[in-house]
Amino acid sequence: MYRIDSKVDTNSDEFIRNKQEFLRILDEYKLILDQVKHGAPEQSVARHKERDKLLARERIDLLVDPNTPFLELSPLAAYGEYNYQFPSAGIITGVGVIHGRETLIIANDATVKGGTYVKETIKKHVRAQQVAIENRLPCVYMVDSGGIFLPEQSKVFADRFNFGRFFYNQARLSAMGVPQIAIVMGSCTAGGAYVPAMSDETIIVKKQGTIFIGGPPLVKAATGEVVTPEELGGADVHTAISGVADHYAENDRHAIQICRNIFQNLEAVDKQKLDISVPEDPYYDPEEIYGLAPIDFRKPVDAKEIIARMVDGSRFHEFKTRYAPTLVTGFARIMGYPVGILANNGVLFSESSLKGAHFVELCQIRKIPLLFMQNITGFIVGKQYEHGGIARDGAKFVHAVANADVPKFTVVFGGSFGAGNYAMAGRAYDPRLLFMWPNARISVMGGEQASGVLIQVKEEQLAKAGKELDPETKEKLRQEILHKYDVEGSPYFSTSRLWDDGIIDPVDTRKILAMGIAMSLNQKFPDMKNGVFRM
C-alpha cells in the first residue's frame, strides 16, 4: 500500500482556526460527558456506599481484565430528557474483556431512580443485547434495579421492543449457545426476576440481592402475608431453598470474582480468521484531525486527509482512484486489522453509487470488514440526474450495503443528511457500531435546505388562496425552522435517543474501531451467495 501524500498545511491560519473551534466543541463534549458520569444525586450515591455497594462503573472496572479498555456504549443516552434526572439512562452498557474474551456487560445504576427503566433505558438494554447477538458475545448482567419506572409504564411495557424483549433476547442468545451470567447485586423485581432466572449461571450477594416476581407490598396486598424482602427472595432463599441462584457471594467484590472464575470454564470460541498484521501508528499525527474535521459544512474536506490520520502507517490502497471521486474507496489497516473504507468526498452521483456497490461486493467476497465514513449531503438531485437513473443506481448501492454480511462500522465525521445516511450504512442498515464525532450533524436535510423547502410549500399554499407571505413572517418562519433543525440535528439530540452508539473523540476512533473488529471475530462471517457484479 502507498502512504497518502497529505497536502494539508498545518501552519495555515485556516487550519489553526478550525483546530481551535474543534477543540472548543470537544471540550464542551468532555465537560458534558463528565457531568453525566457523575450525575447521580449525591444523597443516592452516599446511601449506596453506606450499604457497602460499589457504583456501577466501579463494578465494571473490577470485572474486566486489568489494564484493558471498556468500550462504553451510549453514555449520553437520555441526555436532556426527564429534567436531566436519568444520567446515562440509569444503565451502563458496553464491551469489555474478561479472561481474554470480549464480553457484553449490562450494569444497572441503582443511584439513578433506583435503577428503574424509562424508554431510553429499555432501548439501551435491548441495543446492548443486539450487539451481543450480532457478535456472539457472552453477556454479564449486573442486576440492581427496581424494574419499570412506573410513571412511564405506558412507554416501556407492552410494545415489541419494550421490557419483555430482554427475556426474548436472552432466550435467543441461549439457543445460539452464547453464555449469560447474572450477578444480582440489589433489587431484582417483577419481570426483571427473569434476567437471573434465564441466565446460565446466577450469582447473588448476601443481604443485598433479592429476586421475586412480586415484592413484599404486592404480596401483602394480594394475600395478606407480611414478609421481608430477605425472607421472600434473598440470597439464602435462592441458593439454599429455591435453587434460582447458583452462587452465594459475601459482597460485590466476591460476586465479581465468582463471575470471573466462571469465565475460566466457558467453551472456547472458533473465531473468524483475518490477516492481522502488527499494529502501526499513522504516519501523520492523529491530533491533526482537529484542524481538518468539518465544522462549516459548506467547505469541502478531503476524506483522504482524515483517513491518513486514522489508518496504520497512513497507507491506503485506493480503489477506482480516478472514477467517481466524490466517494473514496480503498483498503487499509487499523491497529493491524484489514478494513475496506468508503468515505464521502461530496454528494453521491450514479457513478459514486456504482463504485460503492462494486467495492462493498469486493469486501464481502474477501471477508474484509467495512468502515463507512460519513460526511454526506445526500444523492445528487435534478432533471439531468433523474433522467440518468440516479434512483436506480442509488438502489444498487443501498442493496449492496443492506446485504453485506461482513461486519460494518460507521463513523459520522461530518454531516449525515438524507438518503446518503442510508447508503452509507446509517443506523437502519445495522452497522455493528455507529459513532459520531462531536462536530457531526444528522437530519433529513440541512436547516437551510429545509427552511427553503418549507417556506416554498407555505407560499404555494397561500398563493392558492390569493395570499402572500410577507417578508417579516417569512424571516420569522425561516429562523424557527433553522433553530429546530439546529437542535434536532445536534449529535447530543441523536445520542440521547440512541440513534448512534455514542459521541467519541476523533483521536480515539482507531482504538474504538479496533475493539469493534476484534469483537466481531467471535461470529464467523457468512459466505457470499453470489460473485462480484461489475457495476
The residue to which cell 441526555 is assigned: 79
| E-only strand ranges, 380-503 | 408-417, 433-436, 441-443
| In the predicted structure, residue 405 carries a pLDDT above the cut 70 | yes
The answer on pLDDT for 535 being more than 70 is no
Pairing of strands 139-145, 180-189: parallel
Q: Whole-number mean pLDDT of the chain?
A: 95
Collapsed DSSP state (helix, strand, coil) of residue 510: helix
pLDDT score recorded for residue 487: 93
Kind of pairing between the strands at 101-108 and 139-145: parallel
The dihedral of CA 379, 385, 387, 388: what is its sign? negative
Lowest mean pLDDT among 87-91, 154-158, 278-282, 431-435: 154-158
Q: Which of 418, 417, 415, 420 is nearest to 436 (CA)?
A: 415
Share of the chain above pLDDT 90, in %: 82
How would residue 46 be classed by pLDDT, with cut points 50, 70 and 90?
Answer: very high
Q: What is the pLDDT of residue 311?
A: 98
Percent of the chain with pLDDT strictly greater than 70:
100
Report d(CA 104, CA 93) in Å as an integer. 7
The residue to which cell 450494569 is assigned: 107
Identify the DSSP state of 500. S
For 360-370, b/e burial (b = at least 16 CB within 10 A) is bbebbeebbbb
pTM > 0.75: yes
Q: Once rounded to an integer, what is the mean pLDDT over residues 288-314?
A: 96
Q: Is the pLDDT of residue 531 over 80?
A: no
- Read off the pLDDT of residues 373-404 as tens digits, 9 standing for 90 and up: 999 988 988 999 899 999 999 999 999 999 99
The pLDDT assigned to 106 comes to 98
Closest CA to 203 of 228, 167, 238, 231: 238
pLDDT higher than threshold 80 for residue 148: yes
Range in 145-154, 166-175, 295-304, 429-438 with the lowest mean pLDDT:
145-154
